[in-house]
Amino acid sequence: MVEFDIRPNPQPMPETERQAVLAALVFGQVFTDHMVTLRWSAERGWHDGRLEPYQALTLDPASSIFHYGQEIFEGMKAYRQENGAIALFRPEANAARFNLSAQRLAMPELPVDTFVHALELLVAHDHGWVPDGEGNSLYLRPFMIATQPALGFTLPSNSYLFCVIASPVPAYFSGTTRLPALTVWLSEDYTRAAPGGTGAAKAGGNYAAAFLAQRQAVEQGCDQVVWLDAAHHTWVEEMGGMNLFFVTRTHDTDDDPVLMTPALTGTLLPGITRDSLLTLAPRFGIRPEEGRISINQWRKQCASGELTEVFACGTAAVIAPVGKVRGVSGEWTVGDGNPGPTTLRLRDELLGIQYGRRPDPFNWVHKVC
């Protein structure tokens, strides 16, 4: 495994200041005392690993990242457990997805144990930054950028920087008294990902191309964009930073509810929360299904009462109920517009496992310190 040189920050944030930050959390605006960096070159492979003070990066302005956007990232969290320990959730799954993204963007893969070790190092050194409290966590952002100073577009960069930064965060969507239901915007004119493109990779360019629609969503009073398939603008794929789930009940009341999520067609991100929920559902008498749903079906099945709940899920969002859907041709409500029982039950279970309150039957919790 790659070795990391430990260079502690001689001037960490004073304790009283850090406590003030932890008492007033905002998503992704304050960063901890350290970061991890690791370099790759064609000659040396992965080398020069460091845990070092959080600081600005110095890059040649000709670096490939600035011109051709060769960048990938991950999003994960460290959770303070009930017993005071700190744990990650399925970090090997993030490492595996990082390598799939790397393959798609023609970047070098990082050994899974090095990826996980880099996270462990940062969390262990900055453990005082992991906040207490339901929904709060230390958000970890591993990323990789192309650093070769070269403008030719012949071969991918021959040098890269891997870096991990950390930010104490609250729940991504938080209400003052209860879990808020989201209003979502159907993006019918823009496309996030097309077949053969980079939709299944966690690449910065996907998000750069999504900002215009996300701004449109905010202007329409919505929280997030719902992306539709590129060819027909009909089939629901996912949201800007989350996967989507649909809960249906047949009129035969003895039937289990069905939990459907769009299948992984290569144009949406294979979410780790998505995979966790598909795995957990049968334990609660819920039938998981990977399928497809059109916007017309979504609207009709809400009107008929067959589709009772919709929720978004992801590392940042956890599980966020969708209450209202808005688009150029009008809007409709999901159920009664409030979080439904399946959504709340799965959310409670997932958070219970992540915070160490519930048994962990699949060994997803990875203790750090």
Where on the chain is the footprint of ligand COI (CB under 6 A)? Answer: 75, 241, 314-316
Cβ atoms of 311 and 322 within 8 Å: the answer is: yes
Helices (H), 62-201: 64-68, 91-104, 112-125
Query: Closer to ligand PLP at the Cβ: 96 or 344?
Result: 96
Q: Interacting stretch for ligand PLP, rule CB under 6 A, among 19-27, 30-38, 147-155, 234-242?
A: 234-242
Query: Closer to ligand PLP at the Cβ: 13 or 322?
Result: 322
In whole angstroms, how close is the CB of 159 to ligand PLP at the nearest point? 27
Q: Which does 272 bind (CB under 5 to 8 A by kind): ligand PLP, ligand COI, none?
A: ligand PLP
> Which residues on adjacent β-strands are paired with residue 217?
none
Q: Of these, 165, 247, 272, 346, which contacts ligand PLP (CB under 6 A)? A: 272
Q: Whole-angstrom Cα distance, residue 250 to residue 241?
A: 30
> Which residues on adjacent β-strands are paired with residue 15?
none
Cβ atoms of 49 and 3 within 8 Å: the answer is: yes
Q: Interacting stretch for ligand PLP, rule CB under 6 A, among 115-123, 165-173, 240-248, 280-288?
A: 240-248
Residue 310 found at the interface with ligand PLP (CB under 6 A): no
Residue 243 found at the interface with ligand PLP (CB under 6 A): yes
Pairing of strands 45-53, 4-6: parallel
Query: Closer to ligand PLP at the Cβ: 277 or 325?
Result: 277
Cβ atoms of 201 and 104 within 8 Å: the answer is: yes
Contacts of 291 (CB under 8 A, 6+ apart): 260, 261, 262, 263
Q: Which of 67, 74, 103, 105 is nearest to 91 (CA)?
A: 74
Q: Which of 206, 109, 183 is nearest to 337 (CA)?
A: 183
Pair of tokens at residue 50: 């460091």
Q: Which does 72 bind (CB under 5 to 8 A by kind): ligand PLP, ligand COI, none?
A: none
Query: Closer to ligand COI at the Cβ: 167 or 343?
Result: 167
Q: Of these, 273, 308, 342, 343, which contacts ligand PLP (CB under 6 A)? A: 273
User: The tokens 């070159």 sit on which residue?
Assistant: 41
Query: Closer to ligand PLP at the Cβ: 148 or 267?
Result: 267
Q: Interacting stretch for ligand PLP, rule CB under 6 A, among 7-15, 249-257, 268-276, 300-308?
A: 268-276
State the residues that interact with ligand PLP by CB under 6 A: 75, 238, 241-243, 269, 271-274, 314-315
